[in-house]
Amino acid sequence: MSSSAVDFAQKNHPKFLNELKDFLRIPSISTLPEHKEDCRNAARILESELTRIGMQNGHLIETEGHPLVYADWLHAEGKPTVLVYGHYDVQPTDPIDEWLSPPFEPTERNGNLYARGAVDDKGQVWAQVKALESLLAGGKLPLNVRVLFEGEEEVGGEGIANYVASKPANLKADFALVSDTELFAPGLPTLCVGLRGMIYTEIEVRSAKSDLHSGMYGGAAPNPFVSLAQIIAKLKDENGRILIPGFYDDIIPPSPEELAAWKTLPFDEEEYRKSEVGSRKLVGEPGYSVIERTWARPTLDVHGMPGGFIGAGAKTVIPAKAQAKVSMRLVPGMVPAKSFALYKSYVEKIAPDGVDIDVRLIHSGDPCLIPVDNPYIQAATRALHEVWGKDTVFIRSGGSIPIVGDFDKHLGLPSVMMGFGLPDDQIHAPNEKFNLKNFELGIQSLIRFLEEAGA
């Protein structure tokens, strides 16, 4: 591989890794109000690092939530423009007791770097910045680059969505480079070409004017958790089929070619059950493989039911209200606003008599499917082959990155989703990690991709 930028990256790798550790020490948890300043600090570090390496116009873009980070370098006349995207916010760290080393004290163990955000997504954002630094060390970039990082991806990405929809002229580009996904298996170069969308909702049931003594009133007063349980039990049948009328109507199934390609991927359902999920059984719609269930079918999940008494011990109370956090992952063809309307009217219809109910949308994002017949995807597979010595596999992911659909809708950009996580990296869970080799080869892959895309 003859690239002076790759040489630069290899020589500077220990330094890059130390800088990443510093970046990971900032607890940029977007959902917790007490970490608002930390989020801003993470944004400032990105802004000043981008400026230090030679990117121009570096600035923060304020939103109603956490700021966006922008920078550009637009002097490669006649070359395409890439919009580089990632997110600097991270998920909360609970349950904290299960971390083997503290989440914001990045620690190396057996070839991995452990920390919250190590791979989702601060480590991958850092890989992008270090790829740009390595290229700029040669005095110029092989193509035009705009960088746009956000700090609210883990909470729905409203700020960036508003910005992209309202200021498309500031983001003119030919394609987007998104590094927030994973390899299908260790050592296997992967491009992600589809993501599920989502609607995240909250159902609130109110049943009485205040909390009530469960002995004095039990038997006569309605219980909001029981009402919620009855509602939830009617959302899905025993086979995992979602019972909301019309929910499946607009789904565009994967093509026969795509389904055939998925069958050739190295994947063992039994191994997945045992080592990744750790359950006695897998669930889901009969007739669909696990890959189809997680990439090409919608979901409905309950995340928590706030309310009532959850302390240690016992309290005999009938709560006056209860909530359930319910999300649905959507697949190509489904439209979040329509899915939410169908869900809301079904929940209102099945709600038990005599309780008040609110069905609220917290955030939503479109599903996406990326066309692969473009020169950027081809440039990516060439670069990946050079670095990893293998042909690229094309996968979808069951996760969501809300802004990717908007890059297509508002900016007309195809996205190249080139990420370097691994399926067992424990994202959103205790002991999140980034494989150190993947960090290193990730930087090299990004360098070679940008060189190929500008060639």
Task: Please state, in angstroms and as integers, the Cα–Cα distance from residue 102 to each residue in 108, 109, 294, following that order.
Answer: 12, 13, 31
Whether residue 113 contacts residue 17, with contact meaning beta carbons closer than 8 Å, is answered with yes
Q: How far is the CB of 17 from ligand BES (least distance, A)?
A: 21
Q: Is 182 in the site for ligand BES (CB under 6 A)?
A: yes
The set of residues, in sequence order, having a beta carbon less than 8 Å from that of 85 and lying 6+ positions away, is: 148, 149, 150, 176, 177, 178, 179, 180, 403, 407, 415
Whether residue 248 contacts residue 242, with contact meaning beta carbons closer than 8 Å, is answered with yes
For residues 141 to 170, the per-residue mask of contacts with ligand BES, x marking binding by CB under 6 A and - elsewhere, is ------------xx-x--------------
Q: Is 440 in the site for ligand BES (CB under 6 A)?
A: no
Contacts 24+ apart (CB under 8 A), 207-216: 207/318, 207/320, 207/321, 207/354, 207/355, 207/356, 208/318, 208/320, 209/320, 210/320, 211/317, 211/318, 211/319, 211/320, 212/317, 212/318, 212/320, 213/316, 213/317, 213/318, 214/316, 214/317, 214/318, 215/316
Work out which of 180, 292, 386, 406 binds ligand BES, going by CB under 6 A.
180
Are β-strands 212-213 and 321-330 bridged in parallel, bridged antiparallel, or unpaired? unpaired
Tokens read off for 221: 């007063």
Q: How far is the CB of 442 from ligand BES (least distance, A)?
A: 14
Question: What is the biggest distance separating any 2 CA atoms in the chain, rounded to whole angstroms?
Answer: 80
Q: Is 72 in the site for ligand BES (CB under 6 A)?
A: no
Tokens read off for 211: 């909390």
If DSSP codes are grouped into helix, strand and coil, which group holds residue 57? strand
The item of Mn ion, ligand BES, none sharing an interface with residue 28, based on CB under 5 to 8 Å by kind, is none
The set of residues, in sequence order, having a beta carbon less than 8 Å from that of 290 and lying 6+ positions away, is: 267, 269, 272, 282, 284
**Binding segment (CB under 6 A) for ligand BES, from list 176-184, 216-224, 241-249, 384-392:** 176-184
Closest to ligand BES by CB, 27 vs 224, is 27
Closest to Mn ion by CB, 47 vs 121, is 121
Closest to Mn ion by CB, 47 vs 180, is 180
Q: Is 194 in the site for ligand BES (CB under 6 A)?
A: no
Q: How far is the CB of 89 from ligand BES (least distance, A)?
A: 9
The item of Mn ion, ligand BES, none sharing an interface with residue 164, based on CB under 5 to 8 Å by kind, is none
Work out which of 397, 435, 438, 444 binds ligand BES, going by CB under 6 A.
397
Work out which of 63, 81, 93, 400 binds ligand BES, going by CB under 6 A.
400
**Alpha carbon distance 248, 296 (integer Å):** 11
Q: How far is the CB of 184 from ligand BES (least distance, A)?
A: 10
Q: Is 402 in the site for ligand BES (CB under 6 A)?
A: yes
Q: How far is the CB of 180 from ligand BES (least distance, A)?
A: 4
**Alpha carbon distance 300, 323 (integer Å):** 16
Q: Is 120 in the site for ligand BES (CB under 6 A)?
A: yes
Q: For 222-320, where are the E strands, in sequence order?
A: 301-304, 317-318
The item of Mn ion, ligand BES, none sharing an interface with residue 397, based on CB under 5 to 8 Å by kind, is ligand BES
Closest to ligand BES by CB, 67 vs 336, is 336
Q: Name the site residues for Mn ion (rule: CB under 5 A).
A: 120-121, 180
- Binding to ligand BES in span 407-436, by CB under 6 A: none
**Interface residues with ligand BES (CB under 6 A)?**
120-121, 153-154, 156, 180-182, 198, 365, 397, 399-402
